Structure formats: C-alpha cells, structure tokens
C-alpha cells in the first residue's frame, strides 16, 4: 500500500492471487515389491540408484522391471516393500503421499486378488492408473479374460524375455516395468494423450508369439498385447483399459488425459479457496481454466478445429444453486472433446476404370 499522508478513507485495489495452471507430472511410477517390509525407497531417477540399495531379497522380477523402466524412458520411481503375507493395500498406502501416476507390481501373481486391490486403489484415488499383466508366461487364448473391469487399469499379455542382471542368461518376466517406462517415454516425447504404443527396449523375445487372429481376439476382450513384428521389433500393440468396451474411457490415453487435466486444474485453482464466492471470482476461475485448456488443445490433445469445438468452461449463476452459494460451493462445469487412438486404419482401394483416353500421337 502507498504511504498515507493524512487521516481519511483510502481505497487500494487488490487482484486475486491467481497464477497460470501448470500441467502436473504424469509419469512417476510406484512399484509394489514383495521383498519383506521396509521403508519406501525413492525417488529413484536412474537404475544406478536401485543398484546402490543393498537389500539381498529383491528377487528376480523387481530388479529387471526397474531396469526395464529406465531403459524404456522412465525418469522417476518409488518402491514400496511388503511381505508376501501382507495385504497389498498396505504397500499401496505407502505410495499415497507421493505424486504417483502409474502403479504396478512385478510379483502380483504371488498375491491373491492383487489386480482387484490395485485397481480399486486407483479408482478410489482417481489420480493414477495401474498396469496389470497375465498370471503366467503363456496362457491359453480361449477363455483368457481380464481380472478386473476398470477404466483405471490396463492389462497386458504375454510376458517378455530379457537378459539377466549379469548378462549370462535370458529370463522371462512380467512386462509391467518395461511398459511403465514406455508410458513415461510417450508422455515426455509426445504427450499423455497419445496411446502408449512403442517398441520395447531391452527385450529379446516374447513368451508367446501371437498371431494376428489371437491378437484380435484378445484385444476384443480389453487385453492389450505385445507382439513381435519383422520390421518393427517387439512393441506394445494395444491401447485399451479393461473397462466395458462401450465406455468413454475404454482407451488408456483418454483416461490418462482426463486424470492429467483433472489433477492439473485441481492443483492450479487451489488459490480460489476462501476467496469471496461471487462473479469476480467466477470470471477469474473460468479464464484460468480456459487458458490452460487452450494450451492443451494447441498441443493436439483435443478434437476440434476451434476452441469452441474442443472444450467449454462454464462458471456462472447457471452452474450453482442458491444452496451451493449458501454453503460456499463454487461449481465450474468443463466439457472436453478428447482424441481417440486410430485403432483401425481403413484404406479403401478400388480399380478406377473411368480414365481419360490418351491424346493421339503424331
């Protein structure tokens, strides 16, 4: 406030202390490890961080999963440790305080109903997705189903073959660590709204080389597959969650984009708490969200040739009742048009018979 020269009434205009909404991180992974109880490990930003942890009972799957995470583009992870007899929920609870966007357990087959517990954790928090995998390296295709139906879960088949830690042999392991690295890689290079489909680094072979027919059959059940292609190597070949296939959130990229937007907007509008709930506040909140969504749309995350086609933000008397206002509730409605992956690229080709005749030659 400026210096006051004499007694009197002075007016000093203030502005809301809003700031531009920043996108939250989307690629930190939380591993649940069955190694015996211990404190949460991390953050780890390189495989060398893991190697420095002198704990003898990490087993086989976890070290190779963490190595695969960093080989495939992972940047940051935490490891929650439990006993094989502990409820999985205790390991998940240890990750609650961390900014985790992906959860997986390389040894989930050792815990009964692990997929149900992990998916329920993600659905309750609504700020992360889990990567699940088949219980065995090779599973009969007929009757193979996902263990849960959830838009917060992605389920993959088959297992992958990688070099052992000392490089002396090949080991068959679940793919979740490598896949979480792919998620992080795609987020960093293209955006969370892009399907996490890419070639897998550090993978020498698959436990089951799927045919196109088998791949199609599994994909129709919400099972994402990993396949080997002659010209492309071993790559992720699926982009669906395990939810009902008619759901808006049947694609991993759509669910993860919505998590990203929801968490970014929630964090970026915290300043509005306890501000006077009136038209001035509504205008600033609406403008802040619109500017953030405009930047996301310009990056290619939303459909539409114009902003009006891509999203809308409403925060006015039509979005709130008198009861809302009396009880301190500011209600803002946001509509979005997310892009869906091009799963089926259909090119129609025909023989064109109506062609103009060649001009006569002289």
Q: What is the pLDDT of residues 269-325, one digit of tens each?
A: 999 999 999 999 999 999 999 999 999 999 999 999 999 999 999 999 999 999 999
> Which pLDDT tens digit goes with each residue over 51-64?
998 666 788 999 99
CA distance 225 to 158: 7
Tell me: pLDDT of 354 over 70.
Answer: no
* Mean pLDDT of all residues in 153-167: 97
Does domain 29-254 match CATH 3.90.550? no
**pLDDT value, residue 10:** 64
**pLDDT value, residue 341:** 84
pLDDT band at 362; cut points 50, 70, 90: low
pLDDT band at 343; cut points 50, 70, 90: low
Tell me: pLDDT of 14 over 60.
Answer: no
Tell me: pLDDT of 29 over 90.
Answer: yes
The chain-wide mean pLDDT, for the chain, equals 91
- DSSP element (H, E) containing 161: strand 160-163
* Mean pLDDT of all residues in 137-145: 94
CA distance 158 to 163: 17
Higher pLDDT, 195 or 346: 195
**pLDDT value, residue 342:** 74
* Mean pLDDT of all residues in 167-187: 97
Residue 149 phi/psi, 5° resolution? -110, 110
Q: Kindly report which listed range (173-182, 195-204, 333-342) carries the lowest average pLDDT score.
A: 333-342
**pLDDT value, residue 238:** 93
0.85 surpassed by pTM: yes
Higher pLDDT, 345 or 87: 87
Tell me: pLDDT of 16 over 60.
Answer: no
pLDDT band at 355; cut points 50, 70, 90: low
* Mean pLDDT of all residues in 132-142: 95
* Mean pLDDT of all residues in 31-48: 93
> Cβ neighbours of residue 170 under 8 Å, at least 6 residues apart?
161, 162, 163, 164, 204, 205
**pLDDT value, residue 13:** 57
- DSSP element (H, E) containing 81: strand 77-82
> Which pLDDT tens digit goes with each residue over 87-105?
999 999 999 999 999 999 9
- HEC sequence for 3-56: CCCCCCCCCCCCCCCCCCCCCCCCCCEEEEEECCCEEEEEEECCHHHHHCCCCC
pLDDT band at 334; cut points 50, 70, 90: very high
Strand pairing class (77-82; 233-237): unpaired
Domain residue ranges of the chain, discontinuous segments joined by + = 29-254, 269-362
């Amino acid at each position: 406030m400026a210096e006051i020269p004499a007694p009197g009434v002075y007016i000093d205009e203030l502005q809301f202390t809003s700031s531009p909404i920043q996108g939250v991180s989307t690629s930190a992974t939380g591993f649940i490890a069955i190694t015996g109880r211990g404190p949460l490990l991390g953050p780890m930003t390189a495989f060398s961080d893991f190697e420095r942890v002198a704990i003898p009972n990490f087993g086989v799957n976890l070290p190779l999963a963490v190595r695969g995470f960093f080989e495939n583009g992972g940047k940051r992870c935490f490891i929650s440790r439990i006993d094989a007899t502990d409820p999985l929920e205790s390991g998940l609870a240890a990750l609650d305080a961390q900014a985790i966007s992906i959860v997986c357990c390389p040894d989930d087959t050792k815990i009964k109903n692990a997929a149900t517990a992990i998916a329920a954790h993600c659905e309750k928090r609504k700020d992360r997705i889990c990567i699940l995998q088949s219980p065995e390296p090779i599973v009969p295709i007929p009757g193979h189903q996902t263990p849960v139906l959830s838009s917060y879960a992605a389920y993959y088949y088959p297992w992958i073959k990688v070099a052992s830690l000392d490089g002396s042999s090949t080991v068959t392991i679940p793919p979740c660590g490598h896949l979480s690295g792919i998620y992080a890689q795609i987020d960093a290079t293209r955006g969370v709204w892009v399907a996490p489909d890419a070639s897998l680094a550090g993978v020498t072979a698959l436990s089951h080389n799927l045919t196109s027919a088998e791949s199609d059959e599994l994909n129709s059940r919400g099972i994402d597959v990993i396949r080997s292609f002659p010209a492309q190597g071993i790559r992720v070949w699926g982009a669906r969650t395990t939810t009902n296939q008619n759901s808006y959130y049947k694609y991993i990229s759509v669910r993860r984009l919505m998590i990203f937007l929801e968490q970014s907007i929630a964090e970026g509008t915290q300043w509005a708490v306890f501000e006077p709930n009136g038209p001035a506040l509504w205008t600033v909140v609406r403008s802040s969200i619109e500017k953030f969504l405009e930047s996301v749309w310009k990056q290619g995350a939303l459909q539409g040739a114009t902003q009006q086609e891509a999203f809308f933000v409403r925060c006015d008397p039509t979005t709130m009742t008198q009861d809302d206002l009396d009880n301190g509730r500011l209600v803002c409605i946001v509509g979005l048009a997310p892009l869906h992956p091009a799963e089926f690229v259909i090119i129609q080709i025909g023989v064109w018979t109506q062609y103009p005749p060649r001009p006569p030659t002289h």
